[in-house]
Amino acid sequence: MVAGYTAAQVRAAEAPHLARGEPLMLMAASGLADVVREVLAARAASTDASVLVLAGTGDNGGDAMFAAAELAVHGIRVDVVPTGARLHEAARAAAIAAGALVWETALPEDLAAAASEASVLVDGILGTGTSADPALRGSARESVAGLLPVLAERKRPVVVAVDLPSGIHPDDGSVPDRVVLRADITVTFGAAKAGLLIEPGADYVGELRVVDLGLGPELARVTPVAERS
């Protein structure tokens, strides 16, 4: 049985760990990188295997870029495409230092071409911090809309969502705009978010993986809002 918690419940559970200086973002990124490596190995990826990372402006993008750094430092080709006006600076610096290529801009046709050649597409656009209205906007929405035809092809990358598919409400599973990358695998952190277990959001999740951040004692004191066998 998988228990699902609200974004607020998970943030409250994280708070004492963050106060103690525990590197939760790096722990999350490491778990994400492990899953991407597993996908590459399962696909018998050759030396030209590549990972395309869509990185948003907040901590979700930071998780994705720290994972990009962990992959790139081991020789995996990683391209990071910003989907907003800024990036998590420490994660961006780590990705560049490790050898990832961080794009300055992304024309829709260039992004679609890169996605069609990638082995894995990492969706790190939006996380639980956008729970008030998770619909994609602006350049992020344009990027995802341009990628949907690529993902309809027979030869396409495996889509790995960071914490939740961008555009899904983390608490109730609502999908206000269907311009969403349907994940093959969703790697969520600390605990499953309730919206990942509730339709229609659950239909976009694919295989759900939970990276343990040590939040068990805190979450044991609250009641989950959703469950799935």
CA–CA separation, 92 vs 184, rounded Å? 25
- Residues placed in the known binding site for (6S)-NADPHX: 59-63, 163
81 with 110: CB under 8 angstroms? no
Structure-block tokens of residue 217: 């004692």
Structure tokens at 19: 């106060």
Q: Report the C-alpha gap between 91 and 46 in whole angstroms.
A: 27
End-to-end CA distance of the chain: 4
Q: Which residues are annotated as a binding site for K(+)?
A: 60, 123, 166
CA–CA separation, 138 and 206 (whole Å): 26
Three-state SS at 195: helix
**How far out from the chain centre does Cα 216 lie?**
22
Residues in the annotated binding site: 59-63, 123, 163, 166
How far is residue 62's CA from residue 120's CA, in Å, rounded to a whole number? 18
